Amino acid sequence: MAKPTNYDASAIQVLEGLEPVRKRPGMYIGSTDQKGLQHLVTEIIDNSVDEALAGAASHIWVILHKDGSVSVQDDGRGIPVDMHPKAKVSALQVTLTTLHAGGKFDEKAYKVSGGLHGVGASVVNALSDHLRVEVRRDSKIYFQEHKRGVPEGKVATTDKPESPNLSKTGTYVHFHPDPTMFTSVEFDPQTIENSIRNRAYLIAGVHFYFTNEISDITKQYYFEGGIKSLVAHTNRDKKVLHDPIYIKKTADHTDVEVAVQYNDSFSEMVTSFVNVVETVDGGTHVTGFRIALTRAINDYAKKIGAFKNGEESLTGDDVREGLTAVIYVKIPTQAIQFESQTKAKLNNPEVQGYVNAVVKEGLDTYFEENPADARRILEKVMLAARARLAARAAKDAVLRKGALEGMTLPGKLADCQSRIASECELYLVEGQSAGGSAKNGRDRKFQAILPLRGKVLNTERAQLDRVIAFEELKILTIAVGMGIGDTINPEKLRYHRIIIMTDADVDGSHIACLLMTFFYRHLPYIVQNGHLYLAMPPLYKIDIAKQSFWAYSDEERDAILKAHPDSKFTIQRYKGLGEMNATELWDTTMNPENRTLKKVEISDAAHADHVFSTLMGDDVPPRKKFITTHARSANLDI
């Protein structure tokens, strides 16, 4: 470890340079929650990915260390270490201590980090309580350590490197996020793994390694097949209709790459990327793709005379049922435009035209040359069109009866007094007796209670007409207030917190799972906008002297007992919500002052889709495999 030394004048200037990052971290990484935290890892990985895109690195190693820190190593050229003419310190130090220092050295055509997130390693450094960098160059190993963005000494050489891989040249960055800057500093290994896997698919030929030292597992990612492999991977639990269709072409400095594969499900899984960064909210490249897909399939249907009387054309919704696709465009960094600060949506108008032209031509050719595949796709989407017409008729019938108008709120709903949605909460409560306690215990000003009888329909593969024919889901939909299907109106949402409150046992988890499936598949707006929560009822009540304590886990129970070792106590295990009286339920689970809520978040739609397909879908073997693999992390209490 380097000893702290005196800073020279330029170093102090640099220190001031990073102050804004620590003052307003959200401005640089979006947020200081789990998402912002995860951003630190992708930022450092993308610096190495840029080196790989420049053709200078072929291996990237990522390690999640036991102490919660992360290191990223590549076998690129190594960040330059020579004296920076203006700053009068090593270029390496400038890179780590100056905002946007990266872009000054080189102008690579498709740069990931500078162009999209654009924050650079210095932001990660500013938000780390410890960061060590090692550069292998000119047969030497240089290193520097930093605390909260402040160098602990000058760049120096060492013959005892910390970096594990022995390539002759390369860069190693090891950082631990500063706990005072984030709501949590615990990285999610799954999220790291997913971003590594995405990058491996997109940059064919680069070897990625991810070691999780906490679970002692190393995974390697290397795909020759690029996005074709990604589409196949996304469809791995589904019945596919054909081999992936792959289209690639360069139009006016924009590389367009698309892979498409239909499966027999009803959902759509379209993932899009610009220069290796996922555009979660799509944009002009996705719009161009959709227009081309709809046109190409309609043109083919007309050409082979597939439309019968009354059927005129397929809509965008029809051709998206069962569609899995990856859209990947590469645009010169300086030309990229984004719609907003979050940079999740591409806004370049010309890209829509390029993608549209490339995809239309590619699909026309493919359908021409592979008529059997084309027919299978056509049958699938025409079935979707017929189902749409049937569902519309069924829903019209339901709507005519006024069931979903929201005029008459269901009698089972104990509504709250407030009409200000942002302060209102809807508790979905398992069982009549718990429902009764919840109704008596709640704060009726802003808390509404809807008791649910037993299990709701599994809606994973249910069409809308079947969903609203199911009484409990119809009642729930009316209570939520924003409609369903293509009549959704977010402004009519009646509660900004919808809280699933079930027993802490297997049945309770199943009911919660069914309700989450309903929201995820049929009211995704609720999940995407953070309106869905799980209540966390306690598992134990411990009475010691005249005081009562509640424990929400076995660890908490043990800690409470340990803190009062020589007092007499009684311990009561709650089996279900119904065992708590109204006051207890309010105190432990519903009172905003002391309750814990878990927000249901979909940070990775593809992963969520996989979990839902596996757990809630038709096929038994993948479900069995999922359950046996995850059995140890499950909490069985039968």
- Catalytic residue numbers read 430, 503, 505, 507
Looking at the Cβ atoms of 46 and 465, the one nearer to ligand 0RA is 46
Give the whole-angstrom CA distance, residue 293 versus residue 308.
21
Q: How many Cβ atoms sit within 10 Å of the Cβ of residue 190?
A: 12
Closer residue to ligand 0RA (CB): 102 or 508? 102
Q: Does 38 bind ligand 0RA (CB under 6 A)?
A: no
Size of the site for ligand 0RA (CB under 6 A): 12
**In the window 76-95, what residues touch ligand 0RA (CB under 6 A)?**
76-80
In this chain, which stretch among 69-77, 346-354, 395-403, 429-437 interacts with ligand 0RA, using CB under 6 A? 69-77
The answer to whether 422 and 452 are in contact (CB under 8 A) is: no
Element (H, E) at 151: strand 150-151
Pick the closer one to ligand 0RA by CB: 53 or 456: 53
Closest separation between CB of residue 48 and ligand 0RA, Å? 5
Closer residue to ligand 0RA, CB minimum distance, 83 or 536 = 83
Q: Are strands 547-551 and 540-544 parallel, antiparallel or unpaired?
A: antiparallel
Choice from 51, 318, 460, 465 touching ligand 0RA (CB under 6 A): 51
- C-beta closer to ligand 0RA: residue 82 or 558: 82
- Min. distance of Cβ 47 from ligand 0RA in angstroms? 4
Strands (E) in 393-517, as ranges, are 425-430, 447-452, 497-501
Candidates 32, 48, 275, 294: give the one binding ligand 0RA (CB under 6 A): 48
422 in Cβ contact with 496 (< 8 Å): yes
- Supply 569's token pair: 């106590």
Cβ proximity to ligand 0RA: between 94 and 434 the closer is: 94
Alpha helix positions (H), 163-212: 189-202
Pattern 4-23, ligand 0RA, x by CB under 6 A:
--------------------
- In this structure, how many other beta carbons lie within 10 angstroms of the beta carbon of residue 107? 11
For 10, the 3-state DSSP assignment is: helix
**Dihedral sign of CA atoms 546, 547, 552, 554 in order:** negative
- Distance in angstroms (rounded) separating the CA atoms of residues 306 and 298: 9
In this structure, the number of other CB atoms found within 10 A of the CB of residue 603 comes to 14
Among 32, 42, 47, 125, binds ligand 0RA (CB under 6 A): 47
Q: Of residues 171, 198, 254, 588, which one binds ligand 0RA by CB under 6 A?
A: 171
Tokens for 27, please give them: 């401005």
As a whole number of angstroms, the distance between CA 532 and CA 515 comes to 10
Q: Tell me the three state secondary structure of residue 147.
A: strand
**Dist CA 533 CA 538 (whole Å):** 16
Q: Residue 78's closest CA among 103, 57, 101?
A: 57
Q: Which of residues 102-141 bind ligand 0RA (CB under 6 A)?
A: 105-106
Minimum CB–partner distance for residue 160 and ligand 0RA (Å): 21
**Least distance (Å) between residue 188 CB and ligand 0RA:** 23
Stretch that binds ligand 0RA, among 46-54, 283-291, 333-341, 452-460 (CB under 6 A): 46-54
Residues sharing a CB contact under 8 Å with residue 472, sequence separation 6 or more, in sequence order: 452, 453, 456, 457
Tokens encoding 317:
């919704």
Q: How far is the CB of 119 from ligand 0RA (least distance, A)?
A: 13
Residue among 56 and 597 whose Cβ is closer to ligand 0RA = 56
Distance of alpha carbon 624 from alpha carbon 637, whole angstroms: 19
What is the end-to-end Cα distance of the chain in Å, rounded? 52
* Region near ligand 0RA per CB under 6 A, out of 13-21, 70-78, 222-230, 341-349: 70-78
Closest CB 551 distance from ligand 0RA, rounded Å: 46
Beta-bridge partners for 498: 426, 532
Closest contact distance (angstroms) between CB of 131 and ligand 0RA is: 13
CB closer to ligand 0RA out of 78 and 435 = 78
Could you tell me the smallest distance in angstroms from the CB atom of residue 51 to ligand 0RA? 4
Q: Which residues bind ligand 0RA (CB under 6 A)?
A: 47-48, 51, 74, 76-80, 105-106, 171
